[in-house]
Structure 1
Amino acid sequence: MALTLHEAFVPSCQQVLGGMQALVNKAEAFVQEHGLTDADLIEAQLCDTMWPLPQHVRSVWVHSAYVISQLPTGEFSPDFTELPQSWDAMRAQLKAAQDSLAAVTVDELEAIADNTIGFVLGGKRLMEFTGQNFLLSFSQPNFYFHATTFYDILRMKGLEIGKRDFMGMPRIKTA
């Protein structure tokens, strides 16, 4: 059975976004339980040359809901203008991504799968892809990179979390 582009992209993003929403809640509780400030976690980075938590939340939104909204235009340029600087803002950004993905239809993605999408950065068109290849070979790896880095920062700061926290709710077979 062949997968649609929707099946290959949307449900997995939704699953990991759900895990990230739960991780935000655990991170906020951790701060309160350990007498830390929100900034102790929100501003944390794996190293000086990597982004802190807000940019990773924004990036999973960019490489899931936002990218799908940009595919019909024929160009994608990352949008990092509104970084979520609080736990509530992170939850809102993750919810917005979930809500946008829930509205995407199979037909909508199949209609743009073969369209050309240009990756634009700094006003320059750097690469071109088909819509399908952009989602699966560019946005999806970026999505997982930023979701994983978000998780890794929280682990590094001492949260007792594991793989199931990252994964969110798997799509199990129902009767």
Structure 2
Amino acid sequence: MAFTLYDAFVPTVRQLLDAVPGVISKAEQHVADSGCSDAELIEARLADDMWALPWHIRSCWVHSGYALDQLTGTEFTPDFTRIPESWDSMRAMIAEASEQLAAATPEQVNDIANREIDFVLGGETRFTLPGERFLLGFNLPNFQFHATTFYDILRMKGVPLSKRDYMGNPAGPMFRQR
């Protein structure tokens, strides 16, 4: 059985994306139960030189659904303009990414594999990679880093989360958990 670029990228990202709304709900419940404010969580960061919580949702969006849209061409330019400012706007951004991934066909994603992709930042090409390496060696690790950091910030702030909250349904979005 052949393992495609679509198989390697889309189901894994969808699994983790589909878990994020539950993590957000637990964060909101923690605010209600603990007396901390939404701002205390939303403005939290792991270290002073790291981005605050909403940036990690933005980065999950950038390195998943947005990436697939960008990679229909030959350039990837991250979007730094859309930063969610509330739990609902975080959910909306994750929902948009999930919808983009759900709409992606294996043919569309696999077509990216051999295309040369330029990473453009500030109008300047920083590096070029084959599409397969761009998705698996750049976007996927970035996505996983930011999904993990989002989870870690909330855990650090006392939100009662487990590994299962982070992982979601390992069978994937098409299968129901028992």
- After TM superposition, the score normalised by the length of structure 2 is 0.94
Hey, what does 2:14 align to over in structure 1?
14
Structure 2 CA distance for aligned equivalents of residues 72 and 87 of structure 1: 30
Q: How does 1:72-91 map to 2 (within 5 A)?
A: 72-91=72-91
| Corresponding residue of 1:117 | 117
Q: How many residue pairs end up in the alignment? A: 174
For 2:104, the equivalent position in structure 1 comes to 104
2:169 and 2:112 map into 1 onto residues whose CA distance is 29
**RMSD value, Cα:** 1.3
Matches within 5 A, 1:4-153: 4-153=4-153
Separation in structure 2 between the aligned mates of residue 7 and residue 135 of structure 1, nearest angstrom: 12
In 2, the alpha carbon distance for the partners of 1:160 and 1:28 equals: 11
SS of aligned partner of 1:171: coil
Q: Deviations over 1:72-124 (max 9, x none)?
A: 22000110201011000000000011011000000111222101100011111
Structure 1: 5+ residue stretches without partners: none
Counterpart contact for 2:64–2:139, Cα < 8 Å: yes
Q: 1:2-28, CA deviations, whole angstroms, 9 ceiling, x for partnerless residues? A: 211111000110110111111001001
**Post-superposition CA distance 1:32-86 (Å, at most 9, x none):** 1111211010000001000111000000000000111011220001102010110
For residue 168 of structure 1, what is the aligned residue in structure 2? 168
Cα distance in 1 for partners of 2:147, 2:153 equals 10
Letter in 1 for 2:63: H
Deviations 1:136-170 (A, max 9, x none): 00000000000000000011001121111100111
Percent identity reads 52
- Counterparts of 2:81 and 2:125 in 1: how far apart (Å)? 20
2:165 aligns to what SS in structure 1? helix
Misfit runs of 4+, over 6 Å: none
- For 1:120, the aligned partner's letter is V
Partners of 1:26 and 1:157 in 2: CA distance? 12
CA distance in 2, matches of 1:156, 1:119: 33
Give the Cα separation in 2 of the matches to 1:12 and 1:119. Answer: 23
CA contact (8 A) 2:26 2:160 kept: no
Q: Secondary structure at the match of 2:111?
A: helix
Runs of at least 5 residues in structure 2 that lack an aligned partner in the other structure: none
